[in-house]
Amino acid sequence: MADEKKGRGCFFYGCLVSLGVFGLIMAALAGVYLYGTRSLTPYPEKFLSLVDSGDFKGAYDMVGDGWKKQMTLEQFTEFEKSMKDALGPCQSKTMDGVAINSNNGVTTAKLVFGANFAKGPAKLTFNMEKQGDEWKIQGLNYQSPLVAQKLTCPHCGAINNPGSKFCASCGKALTAESPNPPAPAEEADK
């Protein structure tokens, strides 16, 4: 009988320890989520507000060196203008998830939002890095059928880079407003 009680006691205490560990993990996840909503979300909110108001220089000032190495201010402006053209202004957004990582003294975060824009919904993923006391946006992914449609060539179906005026595959204008590409010099002489 004593061995039977001892077996039940170990099981009982094992369950208590497991519940305690589970509770600590859940509290840590809740803490990360609260930190993300309070400390990190003001950056994406300000960024989207600047883009919506047409202050692309202000938005570009919020991006980190990694993004700036990939895009000049002019390229960034074209990119954000094409996203704004495809989606319209941001009307609301809800955080779907946050992940924060610290490795070798570098702290990064990934924030995922479900957003409603004037023309339809999109999923936004902000990749951020802490630089000093400030967070910088190192990348932003707009995931939406409206964006995919905007980047798809109406002539050949190839997917193009944001801001492109002509298809990288067939060379034709991506929109009706785009003029025809200039003729090569040898054809212009004929």
Express each pLDDT in 48-82 by its tens digit. Answer: 999 999 999 999 999 999 999 999 999 999 899 98
Residues 128 and 95 in one domain: yes
Residues 74 and 118 in one domain: yes
Q: Is residue 78 part of a domain?
A: yes
Q: Is residue 131 part of a domain?
A: yes
Band (pLDDT 50/70/90 cuts) for residue 5 is low
Residues 86 and 15 in one domain: no
Residues 54 and 147 in one domain: yes
Mean pLDDT, all residues of the chain: 81
Residues 17 and 106 in one domain: no
CA 95 vs CA 31, 37, 68, 124, 126: distances in Å:
15, 8, 25, 9, 11
Lowest mean pLDDT, pick from 26-40, 44-58, 97-111, 165-179: 26-40
Which tokens in the block code for residue 28? Answer: 């840590």
SS3 125: strand
Is this prediction's pTM over 0.85? no
Q: Is the pLDDT of residue 177 over 60?
A: no
Backbone angles phi, psi at 160, to 5 degrees: -115, 170
Domain count, the chain: 2
Highest average pLDDT, of 12-16, 39-43, 75-79, 180-184, comes from 75-79
In the DSSP assignment, the letter for residue 159 is B
Q: Is residue 6 part of a domain?
A: yes
More confident residue, 163 or 157: 157
Lowest mean pLDDT, pick from 110-114, 128-132, 135-139, 164-168: 164-168
pLDDT digit string, tens, across residues 80-106? 998 998 999 999 999 898 888 889 989
Q: Is residue 164 part of a domain?
A: no
Residues 55 and 75 in one domain: yes
Segments forming the whole domain that contains residue 132: 41-151
Which tokens in the block code for residue 20? Answer: 């305690």
Residues 12 and 80 in one domain: no
